[in-house]
Amino acid sequence: MHGLNKAFLQNPAIFLGANPLRVRARQEANSPFANLNIHAAPPRFPFDLRVGAPGVELIPFTAHAKTHALGTQRRISGLWLDYTPGLTRVIPLDNQAGFLFTPMLDGCYIGVGNNRVCHVAGDVQGAGNTAAMRALAAAALGGNVQHGFDSNPADATQCTFVGICGPAGWSFYVQGHDIFYNGHGALEAVFANGAHANQNLVPIVGLTYG
């Protein structure tokens, strides 16, 4: 929408490094994902981007007036990894989807392994302990966590996790930002110290952060 999808698809990492991305949970008030069928197999949906205040917001795609004279409406095909309070949700990675989205993180853990990805809710027993959260993820993924991210130790107020499927396979990124509320939501550094100090977009490789 308004050229945002085109810019995102051309270079997702550059786009995410410059634009705070809001992805609301289904349970939030007025969430655009309230009616999303999370039991779809696979949970792959067309998404759209709309202007936020600040940044941009992910929403389900619906046909709309074209914003350019030529070409077709650009959909962002992505997997939806839902969040459920107190539980761990797991879905298979589907290479026919170009991206993976999950609601924003402020205490949850994301784990990837065995060609699956899981979202461990931030209020499960053991929350706040990275080793305990990793163990829950490992159980959900069948015993292996290849990439992990625990949002508890992050310095950013809130994080957005995005998976990108390219010719070489999946890569994963975490974006840091303020909470989206009443004009807030500007980019923030994910970590204040370490290899990616003061970066608002951090690649997730191995278990460096989880």
Q: pLDDT (tens digit, 9 = 90+) per residue, 23-75?
A: 999 989 899 999 999 889 999 999 999 999 889 999 999 876 665 544 566 88
- Residue 194: pLDDT above 90? no
Rounded to 5 degrees, what are φ and ψ at 60? -65, 150
Lowest mean pLDDT among 155-159, 170-174, 192-196: 192-196
Residue 7 token pair: 């810019």
What distance in Å separates the CA atoms of residue 203 and residue 175, rounded to the nearest whole number?
9
What pTM was estimated for this model as a whole? Answer: 0.93
Alpha-carbon torsion 17, 25, 112, 167, what sign? negative
Residue 146 token pair: 């290849």
